[in-house]
Amino acid sequence: MEEKQYLVDALSIEESWRVFRIMAEFVEGIEALSAVRNAVSIFGSARVHADDPSYKKAEYLAHRLAEKGFSVITGGGPGIMEAANKGAAEAGGTSVGMNIRLPFEQRPNQFANVTIDYKYFFIRKVMFVKYAVAYVVLPGGFGTMDELFEALTLIQTKRIKSFPVVLMGSEYWGGLIDWLKGTMLRTERISRDDLDYIQIIDDPEEVVRHIQKFVIL
């Protein structure tokens, strides 16, 4: 009985210390990002390589955003994240990489000039939203979808101020939009106005112009 109580007490202490670790990670992120202004969060697959069209498009987009005075935030890993950090850094802009510690796939890229390392996904997601004036989402997997719908949910429920959410890659995202219209909208799980939160734009220059309509630097 005493041994069981000891284990219960030990687990309770561990849970209490986890709260402090979470608080510390929040503080570290806020301190690192407090000077970042007019940031565009760019998302996409970690699995693409430098010869992929999406990689090249993300790199060019981030370069142009940095030239226009925007900061760029990514998840800090390879693929699209690397491309965006590279483009922003090479243009002389603020290139933020918010890396998440994972057992596979995620490794920090070398192009972020502001780096933060996270253990907790939910803290990282808060930082993406908190410091972003726009989201640009390129083709990606579950993580990309998670970030996209997190932002859309917060905007829809008015928990945050609305900002531009751009999907790049009409061929990739077209099926999702068709499903949102043909299933979610048709069955009244969302309203027609909810679809206005999303813009599909393929041309990086047009993406920059679209964001500039909402953000005055």
Mean per-residue pLDDT pooled into runs of 10, the chain (217 residues) = 48 76 94 95 96 98 98 96 98 96 77 94 95 98 96 97 97 97 97 97 98 91
For 137, phi then psi, to 5°, come to -120, 115
Per-residue pLDDT at 9: 46
The CATH number assigned to the domain with range 2-214 reads 3.40.50.450
- Cα–Cα separations (whole angstroms), residue 198 to 94, 137, 167, 171: 26, 10, 7, 15
SS3 72: strand
Has this prediction a pTM greater than 0.75?
yes
Per-residue pLDDT at 65: 98
Q: Return the domain boundaries, the chain.
A: 2-214
Residue 93 makes CB contacts below 8 A (sequence gap 6+) with 62, 65, 66, 67, 69, 70, 71, 72
Nearest one of 121, 88, 127, 83 to 102, comparing CA atoms: 121
Per-residue pLDDT at 6: 44
Per-residue pLDDT at 8: 43
